Amino acid sequence: MKIFALKAQLQVALFVVWLSGSAVLAQAPATGAPTSINTAFVKLFAPVGAFTAKVEAQVFDESGRETVRMPLDFALLDGKVRIEINVAQIQAKSVPPSAVAKLKQAGMDRVISVFRPDKKANYYIYPAIQSYVTKPFGQTEAEAAERSLDLAKSAVGKETIEGHPCVKNKAIVTSDQWPVLHATTWNATDLKDFPLQIEIKENRSTARMRFTQVRFVKPAAAEFDPPANYSLMK
């Protein structure tokens, strides 16, 4: 009975993380992954090889009304991405309080989602219960991780974000000359052209990520793997 209950909470946890993640980070055709981080999205950070940052992620409907808001801890290392989410901090009607309460009770309200294109898999790590889940890429995602992507930017203006002078760009990521991701980025001229803000339109919604406390340091490689003493949940 206890095992059954834990598996039920796991399904809730994965659903909440997927729901919040997919609402905030639009998936590009043929490059999406279960975390909604994908190879095309990571390309927006080229040529930055590694960094850590805080992120405020938001989603707005077609009238400009905010429908989702959540803070994230974000780290990138050589194409690998680590996002830490506290489900209790997600503000969204699509994440009911009852779901958050269940996750807290099960020790699954803090989730570390890791995107590993080199291993063709995503990890969902739950520190409170020292467990993790491995989600292999589907065939489409696995093939996308092998593709060569190109990033093209065209300036459309200049703005200041969090005190940093930025060039506002229309960014297009292409694969074999076909566009797979369209975005608007605000690249800070005093931070190695880093995209301090990213907006992606998906259907009638707009997802926005704003980065703060950006540090151009290499996070430890071990942070992108489940700890050796954690148990694999099946």
Mean pLDDT, the chain, whole residue set: 82
| Of 27, 56, 34, 46, nearest in space to 201 by CA | 27
Is the model's pTM score more than 0.75?
A: yes
Give the list of residues 6+ apart from residue 122 with CB closer than 8 angstroms, or none: 33, 34, 35, 113, 114, 115, 116, 134, 135, 137
Mean pLDDT of the 71-100 span: 87
Spatial distance between the Cα atoms of 47 and 111, rounded to a whole number of angstroms: 28
> What sign for the dihedral angle of Cα 189, 195, 196, 200?
positive
Q: Regarding predicted confidence, which is higher, 35 or 17? A: 17
| β-strand pairing of 231-232 with 131-136 | parallel
Q: Is the pLDDT of residue 13 over 60?
A: no
pLDDT tens track for 63-73: 999 888 889 99
pLDDT at 30 over 50: no
CA 211 to chain centroid, in Å, comes to 12
Task: Flag whether pLDDT at 199 surpasses 90.
Answer: yes
Are residues 151 and 121 in contact, defined by beta-carbon separation less than 8 angstroms? no
Question: Which among 103-107, 122-126, 205-209, 210-214 has the top mean pLDDT?
Answer: 210-214
pLDDT for residue 17: 52
**Residue 8 reports pLDDT greater than 70:** no
Amino acid 219: pLDDT: 97
Complete domains list, the chain, with CATH: 2-218 (2.50.20)
Task: Identify the pLDDT of residue 37.
Answer: 78
**Statement: residue 4 has pLDDT above 60:** no
What SS3 state is found at 138? coil
Place of tokens 């489900």: 87
Q: What is the pLDDT of residues 167-193, one digit of tens each?
A: 999 999 988 777 788 999 999 999 999
Q: What percent of the chain has pLDDT over 70?
A: 84
Q: How many CB atoms lie within 10 A of CB 117?
A: 23
To the nearest 10°, the Cα dihedral for 229, 89, 50, 188? Answer: 180
Taking 90 as the threshold, does the pLDDT of residue 61 lie above it?
Answer: no
In this predicted structure, what is the pLDDT of residue 194? 97
**What is the reported pLDDT for 116?**
93
* pLDDT tens, position by position, 102-135: 778 878 888 898 999 999 998 989 999 999 989 8
Residue type, 209: M
Burial of 19 (0-12, 13-18, 19+ CB in 10 A): middle
Q: Which helix (H) or strand (E) holds 81?
A: strand 80-86
Q: Residue 180 CA to chain centroid, in angstroms?
A: 17
- Rounded Cα distance between 151 and 180, Å, is 10
Asked if residue 14 has pLDDT above 80, the reply is no
pLDDT of residue 36: 58
Helix 2-24 to helix 97-106 angle (10° resolution) is 130
Distance of alpha carbon 82 from its chain centroid, rounded?
8
Cα distance between residue 206 and residue 223, in whole Å: 30
